[in-house]
Every structure is written in C-alpha cells, then in structure tokens.
Amino acid sequence: MKVFLKRDVPGLGKANEVKNVSDGYARNYLFPKGLAAPATDSNIKAAQVFAETKKAREDRIRERSQHIAEQIKAKTFKFRAKAGETGRLYGSITSADVASEIGHALNIPFDKHWIVLERPLRDLGTHTVDIKLEGGIHTQAHVVIETEE
C-alpha cells in the first residue's frame, strides 16, 4: 500500500514522502498514530503545496536574516560600564544586553538566543560577538565597552 508520510518516521522516511508499506503496518500503526495517510492524488498535491509554501517562507526568513546581518556588520555597538583600574568591569555585559542594544539600534525585535557568548563580557575594549540568525545565517558584531566617567 502506498502511503503519504505526514511526519518523519524513523526507519521509514521523512515527512511529505510517498512510501510503499505493508497494509497491516499502515492500518494498525501509521494511520491510527496520524503519521501517514493513504497516498491519494489530493494528499500528494496538498503535500506539494505545503512544501512550496514552506520553501518560500524559509527563503523570506533567510533574506530577512541576511539583511539584518549586513546591518549588524556595518555598525559598532557601544556600552558604558563601571570598571576597576585594571580594566575589569564591576558587572558584565551579557547576551541579553547585546541583543537589547542591537534591537534598539536596528529598531527590530532581536532574540537574545541568537547571540553566541561562551561567557559574559567582563573587560573594557573591543570584542567580537558571534551571532547565529534564523535561516542559518552567521555574522559577527563589534562591541566596544568603555568606562563610565
């Protein structure tokens, strides 16, 4: 029996694929769990439409992320913080602080989870911060931390 997979099924295939399986496997396992449906023309056409809209959405997200990445590269983000005589900050600059500053500078909502910091920034000077945007776009932001007077 030919079935159309609604979801990924380990050992069988990925979502939106048409597979040939035994009748019992389809009736007793795949159909009741909602993992598959009979491979009719309408199901296959619906899957193709879904795949096309998903690809278009991913392309829009990738385009938007690329535009954001270009804007981030063109700017330098400055922070002022209290520091000791050695240049060590009394507090720290976290990924949430960097995301907030980027969001404010670009006037867009910016998720702190896109910022990749192994640990918070605790020293004065220029730092390079890795950023992973939606759609698999990677970029770097230049962050300058200056002392408050």
Question: What fold does the segment set 2-58 form as a domain?
Answer: Ribosomal Protein L9; domain 1 (3.40.5)
Query: Do 54 and 122 touch, CB atoms closer than 8 A?
Result: no
Question: What fold does the segment set 63-147 form as a domain?
Answer: Ribosomal Protein L9; domain 2 (3.10.430)
Residue 149, pLDDT above cutoff 80: no
Distance of alpha carbon 72 from alpha carbon 68, whole angstroms: 6
Q: How far is CA 127 from CA 1, 105, 121, in A?
A: 59, 18, 8
What is the average per-residue pLDDT within 74-84? 94
Residue 47 has, within 13 A of its CA and on its CB side, a CA count of 19
Which residue ranges make up each domain of the chain?
2-58, 63-147
Where does residue 106 rank: exposed (0-12), middle (13-18), buried (19+ CB within 10 A)?
middle
Confidence band for 18, pLDDT divided at 50, 70 and 90: confident
What is the average per-residue pLDDT within 31-44? 90
Task: Give yes or no on whether 2-58 and 63-147 have one common fold.
Answer: no
- What's the distance, CA 84 to chain centroid? 37
What is the average per-residue pLDDT within 18-31? 94
Residues 6+ apart with CB under 8 A from 60: none
pLDDT of residue 46: 82
Residue 125, pLDDT above cutoff 80: yes
